[in-house]
Amino acid sequence: MAGSLRKINVGLVGYQFMGKAHSNAYRQIGKFFPDLGVEPVLKAICGRTAEKVKPAAERFGFESFETDFRALCARPDIDLIDVVTPGNSHVEIVLEAAKNGKMVFCEKPLANTVAQADEMLKAVQDNAVPNAVCFNYRGVPAIAQAKKMIEEGRLGKIYHFRSVYLQDWIVDPNMPLVWRLQGDIAGSGSHGDLAAHLIDIAHWLVGPIDEVSGMLDTFIKQRPKLAESNDRLGGSASSEMGEVTVDDSSIFLARFANGALGTFEATRMAAGRKNHSRFEINGSKGSLVFNMERMNELEYYDTGDPEDARGFRVIQTTDSVHPYTGNYWPVGHIIGYEHTFINLIHDILRDFAAGRPTHPDFVDGLAAQRVLEAVDRSSRTRAWQNIG
Ligand code: SOE
């Protein structure tokens, strides 16, 4: 079926920050990856209210809009359902999409609980629909280059994965209670929003995690309720206060199945840090360092260098020999955040069209979910937890 597709008609559910990122990617892919072989078509976008979703349809370039995701999933002219809504609605939308035989692409974290993620995986498997999760950092050329170097054995045996994901957009106690700060909607705070990325990167680069010990905490327990949201994570505050029901900060230790040790810290309370997603990997033959705030660079230390010239070198991952970058500009002409979505969605559509499994898929999404939940359990019980 999918092997012969020339066009993939996309139905996008949600229209805020990630709606913008995904629709931009679908629009740009063909310009940078002309050999992709399939063309995503922005068929329909879905939101609960016509007055909000209609302007989004016009702005992002969709042919039509829907106000009910069930109606969208039932449309015969839709091939792929892309879910960019908050976590609490992922499960029902994905189940509906799978039941209708649609390909499914879902934002991270896959769900708010392991039970939901399990149900979603079962639904895509039972209905045999292609599926993927938007861990977009796999589309960062420098991280894909790190993956390549690790697979080539250039780091040797991996000892450490040391990672932080630091932001500061809720440091101000007057930052309103947006949905990302509400547990019934987002599931968790920095943990599911930021640590989830680190976990997926760690799984991809180092391998599965066996056990964790962690702590989650909330420093600012009450915030002004939201009056009106914007598409930049914030919004205006009302005069009424409400309870913050997610973590502000998440820190945990991890032991990988291959014996490596990991540290993970995710917070939105690190004043001065904007999108500081940084990891360092140390192996028997060398080290790699990545920082999203300098996303076109990868630092590399090679123990095999002559002793008098050893030191970290900075690889500009903008050459045609680096993953994805040959599809963009001449060497040295950097790319940005939005390109991570173009790159990942390129890989996913290529695999969907070829009828072969892709990554990160729902199995990868569930694996990350298990770690998230085990850390939460560890924080509550103050004890190490095995990843089930
Ligand atoms: C907000 O914290 C956010 O946009 C996340 O939701 C993204 O997943 C992350 O990549 C950047 O920060």
Residues 159 and 22 in one domain: no
- Ligand 1 centroid, distance to 277 Cα (angstroms): 10
Tell me the CA–centroid distance for residue 77 and ligand 1, in Å: 31
Domain boundary among 137, 158, 182: 137
Strands (E), 204-248: 209-217, 222-229, 235-243
Give me ligand 1 centre to Cα 197, in Å.
9
- Does any domain span residue 169? yes
271 alpha carbon – ligand 1 mean position (Å): 16
Per-residue model confidence as pLDDT tens digits over 296-342: 999 999 999 999 999 999 999 999 999 999 999 999 999 999 999 99
In a domain, residue 104? The reply is yes
Distance CA 2, CA 357 (A): 12
Instruction: Identify whether residues 116 and 259 lie together within a single domain.
Output: no
Tokens of 379: 């924080």
Nearest-CA residue for atom 8 of ligand 1: 193
Residue of the CA atom closest to atom 2 of ligand 1? 193
Arithmetic mean of pLDDT, 364-384: 98
Query: Among 120, 119, 121, 292, which residue's Cα sits nearest to residue 197?
Result: 292
Signed CA dihedral, 32, 38, 43, 49: sign only: negative
Residue 60 inside a domain? The answer is yes
Domain boundary among 82, 102, 137: 137
- Domain limits at 236? 140-335+366-386
| CA–CA gap between residue 289 and residue 279 (Å, rounded) | 6
Q: Which of 140, 194, 276 to mutate to test the pocket of ligand 1 (most atoms within 8 A of CB)?
A: 194
Asked if residue 330 and residue 223 are part of one domain, the reply reads: yes
CATH code for the domain in which residue 257 is found: 3.30.360.10
Tell me: do 120 and 157 sit in the same domain: no
Ligand 1 atom closest to Cα of residue 137: 10
Q: What angle do CA 5, 7, 12 make, to 5 degrees?
A: 120
Pocket test of ligand 1: the residue of 18, 133, 193 to mutate, having most ligand atoms within 8 Å of its CB, is: 193
Ligand 1 centroid – CA 379 distance (Å): 23
Q: Is residue 185 part of a domain?
A: yes
What's the per-residue H, E or C state across 271-292?
Answer: CCCCCEEEEEEEECCEEEEEEH
3-state SS string for 12-28? EECCCHHHHHHHHHHHH
Instruction: Kindly report, residue by residue over 256-285, the tens digit of the pLDDT.
Output: 999 999 999 999 999 999 999 999 999 999
Q: Which of 137, 172, 191 is the last residue of a domain?
A: 137
Q: Which residues line ligand 1 (CB under 6 A)?
A: 167, 193-194, 197, 233, 275
Alpha carbon of 118 to ligand 1 centroid (Å): 24
Which residue has its alpha carbon closest to ligand 1 atom 11? 275
Q: Indicate whether 349 belongs to any domain.
A: no
The answer to the question of residue 277 being in a domain is: yes
Centroid of ligand 1 to alpha carbon of 242 (angstroms)? 23
User: In a mutational test of the pocket of ligand 1, which residue from 230, 275, 291 has the highest number of ligand atoms less than 8 Å from its CB?
Assistant: 275
Sequence letter at residue 147: K
Tell me if the pTM is above 0.85: yes
The answer to whether 104 and 122 have CB atoms below 8 angstroms apart is: no
Name the residue with the closest Cα to ligand 1, atom 6.
193
Cβ-Cβ contacts under 8 Å for 363 (sequence gap 6 or more): 121
Q: What is the count of structural domains for the chain?
A: 2
Same domain for 166 and 32:
no
Give the amino acid at 212.
Answer: V
Res 2: pLDDT: 44
How high is the mean pLDDT of the chain? Answer: 97
105: domain CATH number?
Answer: 3.40.50.720
Strand 286-291 with 276-283, pairing:
antiparallel
Residues 113 and 237 in one domain: no
Backbone phi, psi, residue 22, to 5°: -70, -45
Strand pairing of 209-217 and 385-386?
antiparallel
Atom of ligand 1 nearest to the CA of 17: 4
**Residue with tokens 């599931």, as numbered in its chain:** 187
Residue 345 within a domain: no
Structure-token pair, residue 322? 């680096």
CA–CA dist 230, 232 (Å, integer): 6
- Nearest-CA residue for ligand 1 atom 9 is 194
pLDDT tens column, 2-44: 445 599 999 999 999 999 999 999 999 999 999 999 999 999 9
Is the same domain home to 64 and 149? no
Same domain, residue pair 111 and 164: no
Question: Is the predicted pLDDT of residue 67 greater than 90, yes or no?
Answer: yes
Per-residue model confidence (pLDDT) at position 90: 98
The letter for the amino acid at 215 is M
Domain co-membership, 371 together with 234: yes
Residue 165 lies in a domain: yes
Please report the beta strands in the chain, taking only residues with DSSP state E, as ranges in sequence order. Answer: 7-13, 39-46, 64-66, 80-83, 103-107, 131-134, 158-166, 209-217, 222-229, 235-243, 249-256, 261-267, 276-283, 286-291, 297-302, 313-316, 385-386
Q: Which ligand 1 atom is the nearest neighbour of the CA of 233?
A: 1
Query: What are the C-alpha distances in Å from 387 to residues 5, 128, 212, 296?
Result: 39, 27, 8, 33
